[in-house]
Chains A and B, each alone.
Chain A
């Protein structure tokens, strides 16, 4: 069977329509995705764990519900992949780390519970940089995920597994998490759509925290409308997450539909001065400039806006994140769950010796690096100079956003400075790796929502680039409206989605 004739090529919205019309069954759709995983995930390695039995059982239940006219919502029966940082009962949750190898949570993350309750079969858990630390998925303890556009290249990170699964048609939908760009940057380099919602807009309960004040769960899809539908499903207040916002989400699906009409008249779009220039790949910048022109054609007014403190965002982020992470990761001590390593050559070791041996064996280098940085930044005598100072700069970055949104409706930039780099290329240079998230980090520091929409292939390498739209907190609808407008203008220009141009992958081996 050729890839184009199966449901795997359909968007989630189209699959949902097919299910509603009785043209598709969830079992057929789920089976075809499982077959696709079987066919292409060997080389891509987007999944850490595939739950074929669980997914098929959920699909059968969905079909039975639909038969009985008792479907639970528009996405009932549409399969989904879940990033391995979200707790799932009955399925391993490793966070890409050896230290959690074999751990099966006794509870579901709130977003997982919502997805299950809405009837979406869970295909499996997707690969990621260990504890979401990275921009390439090379820091997974279980081996890297490869970019479906070029298997020699990285799929972005930390959510490279979710992005690659969606880009390679192994799942129509995936859940990701975004702490500094881990949804949006993989979206950009794999030609997929990814959204980081407003901080507090989606529950973090059951998301194994990287940096609690920055993390958000969000959708990973191939179309803006699909992201809106998934976001609407997982969003909203959760009493188990004290930081979740107790007010209704704007109508995201309607905003995406409105945007698809490519009418942005009355909208003011601000181009962030600081997020371009030296170090930005020319092909990425060309696509960005063309996209701006399309927005203008759709009726938007495009202006340049300066956010001067954004140049400090990366440094700020790499103090706040490790500080929170160093504390979060302390719980992995071999006492209650996960890996337990006994120190060699020690008779009846103490609890402290077991903790030390386990953490040494269970954590990878990048995790250790950030634990050390974070511990240092919080230490007595250094706190004010590092963590305290970073929090002050964070406030200034929020003020820059507030000032900018005083004059424009949305802010835009390229999602990532470059297209996908080669595996191993930046592994020995952490700072070069960190620079990938230059454009995505400010949104996490300020808690504002952002989307990355694929906007073409760079001339130099023929690889996808992404267009980022940022909006004020709680105005997530704006990123969908602008994102959908750009998506529809580009599709009209290209005569179809960008991913149609990606390699087929079947029969490819490494």
Chain B
């Protein structure tokens, strides 16, 4: 079904958007939230399970202390208050991938609450996003619907993998973000991107959106301009990249406005984002009838982190993101524009790690914002999710610096890396990519080029050294790009002058 959309500028003329973001972070603890099963990703289905995470009768949960520590560190990094005493609660609803048919979560007593994060937008403007809460909960199992549609409706049957059931999650919920106006889509994207950087810096999650380590739900409502009220919201799920967060907000703003302008009303519901088509579709209706019957989990004792512990954890926090950004810009000598582009592309951490691995800042920036950004764009992923690591970029740049690769060959190495052909060194070896600087091979190619282009050779002999470029091109063509261009130039000049 195609929805009617209103022109974005027209939306802004008539409505104020209110944003709310719920981000689920899958922690990288060794074990699950309430049992000793490995929390690692990718095991054979249903091999990382036990009576507790399968919800067998009689089994009981025990809280993972490392997960509590991670939750507190996330809360502190988001400038939250940390509860002196809080409990887990059961969120009751039936679903086949939820072993107990209740999710052990937190309800009115979250571990962290009332925080904020200063989000830096692309032009350097800062927006303070208020954090309502960050709470601990467990993940559900994963359902796979087998059939032509791939969705539950029309499936022949469904399979459930409980390996994911019980993996620790932290859900971070913002307060309504008001007054963002035309920048609402950008604020949403920048918030999620900066939150991801923070999570990575804390080292508490792999934080890969494409693998579902970081999942964003986008709440959006519109109210008539200046009304100061909150409209009915929709919650868009399955938004799996920063860019999609921005697009989803924009789409929902345009869709809401069209519905409201047409005299309709917004249904409070869950919607699904479709990356390929760039639209949302209606999911289950989220009416008031949905009642999770929360109550305190009687199998667990309250979590009461001592103030000493909290202060100790505060001491382990990474540098404040804004201060860090300023420091790095200074160290790297980036212009404001270069820095903004780097942050906007979600590449700050990648550039930082690449520089730390020995690459000159400008070279690091060039790779990530040029080559990698292009490839990410082509495949619709975040550059951080491409699968190329800062260490690999540093290895490739090292070979460029040493003269064994040129930029063109280096790009072929990245092709190999993305195709999973091994380490950069292995790819260079396997693909035979090393630059040829052996005079024997080069000399023959230069002679061929001179013979094939006598008029160019004549110009050079006549002192027009700039014409050497054409001969270099011919040599490169013959050598399939693998010639050391500098040495070729020297040989041409030696032979002709």
Contacts and interface: CB of A to CB of B under 8 A. Distances in A.
A242 B63 contact: yes
A209 interface: yes
Interface string A88-110: 00000101000010010111010
B102 A327 contact: yes
Contact of B60 (A204, A335, A379): A204
Contact of B299 (A242, A375, A378, A387): A242
Nearest to A380: B291
A458 interface: no
Interface in A273-317: none
A336 B299 CA distance: 22
A331 B57 contact: yes
Interface string B50-66: 01001111111111000
B362 interface: no
Contacts of A330: 92, 94, 100-102
A208 B58 CA distance: 4
Interface in B299-330: 299-301
Contacts of A93: 57-58
B160 interface: yes
A107 B56 contact: yes
8 contacts: A105-B56, A106-B51, A204-B60, A243-B301, A330-B101, A332-B57, A336-B99, A383-B295
B448 interface: no
B90 interface: yes
A111 to B, nearest CB: 11
Given A212-B299, A327-B295, A333-B94, A206 B99 contact: no
Contact of B57 (A87, A351, A352): A87
B179 interface: no
B100 A331 contact: yes
State the majority secondary structure of interface residues on B. Answer: loop
Interface of B: 51, 54-63, 90, 92, 94, 96, 99-102, 158, 160, 291, 293-295, 298-301
B296 to A, nearest CB: 9
A196 B308 CA distance: 38
Nearest to B156: A348
B96 A107 contact: no
Contacts of B158: 351
A107 B293 contact: no
Interface centre among B90, B94, B96, B298 (most CB of A within 10 A): B298
Given A242-B62, A330-B100, A351-B158, A378 B57 contact: no
Contact of A336 (B54, B63, B102, B291): B54
For the complex of A and B, 4 pairs with smallest distance between CB atoms:
A330-B101, A212-B298, A378-B293, A213-B298
Contacts of B51: 105-107
Interface centre among B55, B57, B59, B294 (most CB of A within 10 A): B57
A213 B160 CA distance: 31
A206 B102 contact: no
B95 to A, nearest CB: 8
A86 interface: yes
Contacts of B54: 336
B55 A86 contact: no
Contacts of A405: none
A387 B295 CA distance: 9
A453 B101 CA distance: 40
Contacts of A103: 57
A383 B295 CA distance: 9
B301 A105 contact: no
A331 B92 CA distance: 10
A337 interface: yes
A467 interface: no
Contacts of A241: 60, 299
